[in-house]
Structure 1
Amino acid sequence: MRNVAKATNNKDKLIDTKELFREYKETKDRDIRNRLIENYMYIVDILSKKFINKGIEYEDIYQVGSLGLIYAIDRFDVEKGYEFSSFATPTIVGEIKKYFRDKGWAIRVPRRIQELSKKVNKAKVELQQRNQKVPKVIDIAAYLGCSEEEVLEAMEASQGYNTKSLDITYDNDGDDKQVKLIDLMGDEDKNFSKIDNEDFLNKFMKTLDEVQIKIMKDRFFENKTQSELAKELNVSQMTISRIEKKIVMKLRQEYEKI
């Protein structure tokens, strides 16, 4: 008897929900939509939990999923005979995945580079499985039909995804006290403070080309940002970053010869 009563209640609830959808479609009454949202928030909760521990807080995922639920309610046509849960699930999941794609990058990266980064990661796996060795940049570029410069840019950009807070704590082995990530990071190389010899810098500058000289002067002496330099030179920020790294590496090598 209990099972019969429960089945009857579920059937009545289903009928009531369908009537609510019909009424909302005709009137667009916000109170009715709110009732429908309350009825189906459990779907958002279930789907949001599938995306936790992926670098974005559950509350943010849940909020985006709730928007997806609202979109699904607005588009749902009860007369087509679909179950609402089946209709709403891909809409909610789609909004969550879109949010991860757009907001998961800690450093704002153009969509073109984000998409290329995914292709590069996939190509690396496929080429390694095929050739049984780690592919080189030139191999990935040939596989994807793009330039090595684009592959390098995508690989560097991927480092801007899901960065960690400097306040995150770790257990300290042999000690009950926890330490923060910022405490584990290396200090600035103190040897650079000794590079104040004008003769050394002048000689070093002669080993650089015109673009490298400009980047060195503007970055290290004028405190310009990489973005500002990228605009001035009409190149990507990643290109400025790579050139800057080469300059620093070369500077270290020259200094070690002293």
Structure 2
Amino acid sequence: MKNVACAATNENVDSPKKLNEKELFKRYAETKDIDIRNELVNRYLYIAEILSKKYINKGIEYEDIYQVASLGLIYAIERFDLSRGFEFSSFATPTIIGEIKKHFRDKGWSIRVPRRIQELSKKVNAARIALNQKLQRSPKIEDIAEYLGCTEEQVLEAMEASQVYTPKSLDLSYDANGDDKDLQLMDLVGEDDKHFDMIENRDFIQKCLDKLNEVEMKIIKDRFFHNKTQIQVAEEIGVSQMTISRMEKKVLEKFRKELKKIKEI
């Protein structure tokens, strides 16, 4: 019984919750015990939370930023070297911020934009603020280009690309100049794609053709795809032109019924 009690006592002393931070990092470096790492994460998770809140309302949901920051905290724990004499918080902070900024670079743009344009876009925004204060007016494109030492085309490219950082909702409403109904962005941009109608029509025709017999199929293809006359089709099949006319009307009636079914759905 004494041995059991002694073992239980030792287990309690060695529990990660009972160890200080330096002992935890030392143990983790030696054993890579997940329980020890989890304890370190719990103790320093407040750093990830504080840093995440600095990036609220920057175009990415807070929960996503917090998850990235928490992952950055784990990376910091894995890389931390106690022997170098640094405080862990001082080491972890730039590691976490680096992961958050990397996430913004990779995921923050609604459309993937080349890294050079993303970086130039940040410089353009900073230049506009600086020049606005210096010139006491809104800077022109040439002012920004001269300030950054780049071409006006590059500035325009960066400014255009910055528009995709935070996409606008198609439900966004605009004042319709006194009209009762406001206009939505979806009413102002884009147009109907004719290809959709072509695809639907082609699909409808194919379904109708699949229901025809061999003679009916030949009549429809010859008449409407090969531009043959009823007399030409009649001669090829060996029937009268009147017979082709009746069969053609019968097939077209089938098409009309199928189309009516689709409209009723």
Give the TM bin, normalised by the shorter chain: 0.5 to 0.7
CA–CA separation in structure 2 for the residues paired with 1:188 and 1:46: 42
Matched residue SS, 2:145: helix
Matched residue SS, 1:108: coil
CA–CA separation in structure 2 for the residues paired with 1:130 and 1:42: 40
Using the aligned pairs only, state the percent identity.
66
After the TM superposition, which residues 80-95 of structure 1 pair with which residues of structure 2 at under 5 Å, given as runs? 80-95=84-99
CA–CA separation in structure 2 for the residues paired with 1:165 and 1:221: 24
Residue 26 (1) aligns with residue 42 (2): no
Matched residue SS, 1:107: coil
- CA separation of 1:36 and 1:186: change in aligned 2, threshold 3 A: closer
Length-normalised TM-score, structure 2? 0.57
Cα deviation, residue 22, structure 1: 0.5
Cα deviation, residue 35, structure 1: 2.4
After the TM superposition, which residues 17-56 of structure 1 pair with which residues of structure 2 at under 5 Å, given as runs? 17-56=21-60
Residue 62 (1) aligns with residue 70 (2): no
- CA separation of 1:135 and 1:188: change in aligned 2, threshold 3 A: closer
Please list every run of 5 or more consecutive structure 1 residues that lacks an aligned counterpart in the other structure. Answer: 1-11, 170-178, 194-219, 224-258
Cα deviation, residue 121, structure 1: 1.4
Cα deviation, residue 50, structure 1: 2.3
The superposition leaves residues 106-158 of structure 1 with CA deviations (integer Å, 9 ceiling, x where unpaired) of 11110000111111112222222222222221222222221111111001001
After the TM superposition, which residues 209-224 of structure 1 pair with which residues of structure 2 at under 5 Å, given as runs? none
- CA separation of 1:165 and 1:41: change in aligned 2, threshold 3 A: farther
Structure 1 residue identity aligned to 2:140: K
Structure 1 residue identity aligned to 2:49: D
Match of 1:75 in 2: 79
After the TM superposition, which residues 25-174 of structure 1 pair with which residues of structure 2 at under 5 Å, given as runs? 25-166=29-170
Match of 1:187 in 2: 187
Structure 2 residue identity aligned to 1:128: N
The number of equivalent residue pairs is 174
CA–CA separation in structure 2 for the residues paired with 1:47 and 1:36: 17
CA–CA separation in structure 1 for the residues paired with 2:189 and 2:166: 26
- CA separation of 1:187 and 1:37: change in aligned 2, threshold 3 A: same
Contact (CA 8 Å) 2:69, 2:97: kept in 1 or not? yes
- Deviation above 3 Å: which 4+ runs of structure 1? 12-15, 164-169, 220-223
CA RMSD of aligned residues (A): 3.4
- CA separation of 1:158 and 1:32: change in aligned 2, threshold 3 A: same
- CA separation of 1:222 and 1:119: change in aligned 2, threshold 3 A: farther
| Bigger Cα Rg | 2
Matched residue SS, 1:156: helix
- CA separation of 1:34 and 1:77: change in aligned 2, threshold 3 A: same
Structure 1 residue identity aligned to 2:48: V
Matched residue SS, 2:138: coil
- CA separation of 1:167 and 1:24: change in aligned 2, threshold 3 A: farther
CA–CA separation in structure 2 for the residues paired with 1:189 and 1:24: 57
The superposition leaves residues 54-97 of structure 1 with CA deviations (integer Å, 9 ceiling, x where unpaired) of 22111111110011101110111223333222221221122112
CA–CA separation in structure 2 for the residues paired with 1:141 and 1:189: 31
The superposition leaves residues 31-62 of structure 1 with CA deviations (integer Å, 9 ceiling, x where unpaired) of 32222222222221222122222221111111
CA–CA separation in structure 2 for the residues paired with 1:46 and 1:124: 29
Cα deviation, residue 28, structure 1: 2.2
CA–CA separation in structure 2 for the residues paired with 1:188 and 1:167: 11
- CA separation of 1:222 and 1:133: change in aligned 2, threshold 3 A: farther
CA–CA separation in structure 1 for the residues paired with 2:189 and 2:171: 22
